[in-house]
């Protein structure tokens, strides 16, 4: 279980998501600066993170819920790609790289299955993301990044190659 984060990061940067966002802003006659653009990226990360939790059925409290795995993988990879874009815009790319010990800790993490644990995980990541936005905390970003990686690889059980393929496909489509 190990993602090629460098490849994923380069794909996001090469996709030039920022240009497509600027075009949308221009199309809507809205002038935004660099900070407003970063605010928009973080807002979208939080929205995509919330969609992941919703698609995973965390808010349903039903044992019989079956998530649409393809929609969930897409939303998850949108969140990952935006996290990578944020790191690139803030020049925090060093925070997304994991050494072998970091990957081992994720691989050995317990899967969250209880509603209480899932709720705490969702709220903790959301809090970390808002801390990143308002306090510019690199530690909060790193911790949120690790928790989001664990969510996809361990809690959702997505294969690393499935995440990489979906992330690349999203970068190519700029969605």
110-156 pLDDT, tens digit each: 988 787 888 899 999 999 999 999 999 999 999 999 999 999 999 99
Asked whether residue 31 carries a pLDDT value surpassing 60, the answer given is no
Cβ(77)–Cβ(125) under 8 Å? no
Domain ranges of the chain: 5-173
pLDDT at position 143 is: 97
pLDDT at position 112 is: 84
Give the pLDDT mean for 20-26. Answer: 53
- Range with lowest mean pLDDT among 19-23, 74-78, 87-91, 147-151: 19-23
**How sure is the predictor about 23, in pLDDT bands with cuts at 50, 70 and 90?**
low
Asked whether residue 174 carries a pLDDT value surpassing 50, the answer given is yes
Asked whether residue 26 carries a pLDDT value surpassing 80, the answer given is no
What percent of the chain is modeled with pLDDT above 90?
Answer: 59
Give the pLDDT mean for 81-110. Answer: 93
User: Which of 72, 65, 20 lies closest to 49 in space, CA to CA?
Assistant: 72
Cβ(67)–Cβ(56) under 8 Å? yes
pLDDT at position 32 is: 60
Burial 162-174 (b: 16+ CB within 10 A, else e): bbbebbbebbeee
Burial 44-71 (b: 16+ CB within 10 A, else e): bbbebbbbbbebbbbeeeeeeeebeeee
């Amino acid at each position: 279980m190990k993602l090629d984060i460098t490849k994923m990061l380069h794909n996001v940067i090469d996709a030039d998501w920022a240009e497509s966002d600027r075009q949308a802003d221009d199309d809507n006659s809205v002038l935004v600066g660099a900070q407003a653009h970063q605010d928009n990226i973080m807002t979208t990360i939080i929205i995509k993170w919330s969609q992941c939790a919703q698609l995973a059925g965390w808010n349903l409290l039903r044992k019989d819920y079956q998530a649409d795995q393809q929609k969930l993988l897409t939303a998850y990879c949108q969140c990952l790609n935006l996290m990578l874009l944020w790191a690139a815009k803030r020049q925090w790319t060093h925070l997304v790289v994991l050494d072998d010990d970091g990957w081992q800790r994720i691989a050995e993490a317990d899967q969250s299955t209880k509603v209480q644990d899932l709720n705490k995980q969702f709220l903790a990541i959301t809090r970390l993301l808002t801390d990143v936005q308002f306090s510019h905390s690199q530690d909060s970003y790193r911790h949120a990044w690790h928790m989001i990686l664990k969510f996809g690889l361990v809690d959702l059980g997505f294969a690393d190659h499935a995440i990489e393929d979906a992330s690349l496909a999203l970068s190519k489509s700029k969605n």
